[in-house]
């Protein structure tokens, strides 16, 4: 079936203008893309830089409106897709806007493996194989290299301060907890799920009047405010972000809780008060993914040295609650992390069993572990939908690249959690009473 021509060239999210291509390039791209994705067992709707629409994959065009459309903004991007971007290259192309996804981001990213890696080249009748890279060469030659594949744009990092707080305030829940919510029913909204999570944490820690609570990485003060208002604790929250510090203390003053709660701008690792805290919490921020879409994690408790510091700060009989992002242990004989052979050890770094072992080595006894993987998926997707709804304002606040980083990062993390490639656990541990 001939491709549908639509005379509406695609611009690349405000990046470099779409280059003019030589006559016949669209036809070459159409032929190569159809050959490249002929074995795909799912529909892949595509729109080229000149507005041409293609239905790729074994199913071809869908009978109704597609859930998403992959937008290829220039011939050199089509060449890269044909020859094989690899997952890092696919991610960078999406972040830069050279490759775009319109519609259901999750549905499109489920095909990321097929998009990143081409199938084995077909044998030629006269022997040997013609590589996809060689077959895509005419598309790379259509425009100068500088115009066809611009240098990657600068990372869209949210540096912190008032700009970061304004950005996150657009799409986090009203409490701005910024951590995994707890969905107790199918119709529970994000704001209620965050309230339910805060209350569960307070109850699991058995908080009560006079209890001394330390919140590591307190963010915008959501937990310390809830614990003081509803459970009567004396609370200290610590953050390294000036914007979080300012907003949290403003909220504390507005609530009239300044005598029992404060948030300070300091590193928790510098605390020296041995045994000063009855309860310690480390929830972390939005789940990170390889530097994409995550708050800086320098505040989070991570590793044996940090756990030993937590043990020193806890009073005998004190409780520690942590949200821990993990990955499953490698299967025997699998290759993990740069060619290292995984022998199936269950306590490899980053696994739940390794965290439990490190807690024990630090003198902390694990009391309970709650799996939050499904709740984390729902939280991330709520955030992604809210960010998409506020995309125009978010771009004005933080820039297009930063918005793409957060949307892509949260979607990828949700997919990894959904398929079990990552996990999230709420771990409760205690420092045994010396008596």
Name which of 44-53, 128-137, 380-389 the model is least confident about.
128-137
Mean pLDDT of the chain: 81
CB 234 within 8 A of CB 211: yes
Side by side, which strands form the sheet with 314-326?
261-265, 234-239, 212-216, 277-282, 314-326, 423-430, 365-371
CB 264 within 8 A of CB 245: yes
Name which of 128-137, 232-241, 250-259, 362-371 the model is least confident about.
128-137
Of 144 and 226, the structure prediction assigns the larger pLDDT to: 226
For range 50-75, the mean pLDDT: 84
Give the model's pLDDT for residue 330. Answer: 61
Where does 162-430 sit in CATH, by number? 3.40.50.150
- Options 3.40.50, 2.50.20, 3.30.1050, 1.10.530; which CATH number does 25-148 get? 3.30.1050
For range 10-24, the mean pLDDT: 47
For range 368-372, the mean pLDDT: 96
Give the model's pLDDT for residue 194. Answer: 95
The ranges of the chain annotated as CATH 3.30.1050 are 25-148
Query: Count of CB atoms within 10 A of residue 190's CB?
Result: 22
pTM: 0.83
For range 338-367, the mean pLDDT: 71
- How many alpha carbons fall within 13 Å on the CB side of residue 322? 24
The ranges of the chain annotated as CATH 3.40.50.150 are 162-430
pLDDT band at 120 (very low <50, low <70, confident <90, very high): low
């Amino acid at each position: 079936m001939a491709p549908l021509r639509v005379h509406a060239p695609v611009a690349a999210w405000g990046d470099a203008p779409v280059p003019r291509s030589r006559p016949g390039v669209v036809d070459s791209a159409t032929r190569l893309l159809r050959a490249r994705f002929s074995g795909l067992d799912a529909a892949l709707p595509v729109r080229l830089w000149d507005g041409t629409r293609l239905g790729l994959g074994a199913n071809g065009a869908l009978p109704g409106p597609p859930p998403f459309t992959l937008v290829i903004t220039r011939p050199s991007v089509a060449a890269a897709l044909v020859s094989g971007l690899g997952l890092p290259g696919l991610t960078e192309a999406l972040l830069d806007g050279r490759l775009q996804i319109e519609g259901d981001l999750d549905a499109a990213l489920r095909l990321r493996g097929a998009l990143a890696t081409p199938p084995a080249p077909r044998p030629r009748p006269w022997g040997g194989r013609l590589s996809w890279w060689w077959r895509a060469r005419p598309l790379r030659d259509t425009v100068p290299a500088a115009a066809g594949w611009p240098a990657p744009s600068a990372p869209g990092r949210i540096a912190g301060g008032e700009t970061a707080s304004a950005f996150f305030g657009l799409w986090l829940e009203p409490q701005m907890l910024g951590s995994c919510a707890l969905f107790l029913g199918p119709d529970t909204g994000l704001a209620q799920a965050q309230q339910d999570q805060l209350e569960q944490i307070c109850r699991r820690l058995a908080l009560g009047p006079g209890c001394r609570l330390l919140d590591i990485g307190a963010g915008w003060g959501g937990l310390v405010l809830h614990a003081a208002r509803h459970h009567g604790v004396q609370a200290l929250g610590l953050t390294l972000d000036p914007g979080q510090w300012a907003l949290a203390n403003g909220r504390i003053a507005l609530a009239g809780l300044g005598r029992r709660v404060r948030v300070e701008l300091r590193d928790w690792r510098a605390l020296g008060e041995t045994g000063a805290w009855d309860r310690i919490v480390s929830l972390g921020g939005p789940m990170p993914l390889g530097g994409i879409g995550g708050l800086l994690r320098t505040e989070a408790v991570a590793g044996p040295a940090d756990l030993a510091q937590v043990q020193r700060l806890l009073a005998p009989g004190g409780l520690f609650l942590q949200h821990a992002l993990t990955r499953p242990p490698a299967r025997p004989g699998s290759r993990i992390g740069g060619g290292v052979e995984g022998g199936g050890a269950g306590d490899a770094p980053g696994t739940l069993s390794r965290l439990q072992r490190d807690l024990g080595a630090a003198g902390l006894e694990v009391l309970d572990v709650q799996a939050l993987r499904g709740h984390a998926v729902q939280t991330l997707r709520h955030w992604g939908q809210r960010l998409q709804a506020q995309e125009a304002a978010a771009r004005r606040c933080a820039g297009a690249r930063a918005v793409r980083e957060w949307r892509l990062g949260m979607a990828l993390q949700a997919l990894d959690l959904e398929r079990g490639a990552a996990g999230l656990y709420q771990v409760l541990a205690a420092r045994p009473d010396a008596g």
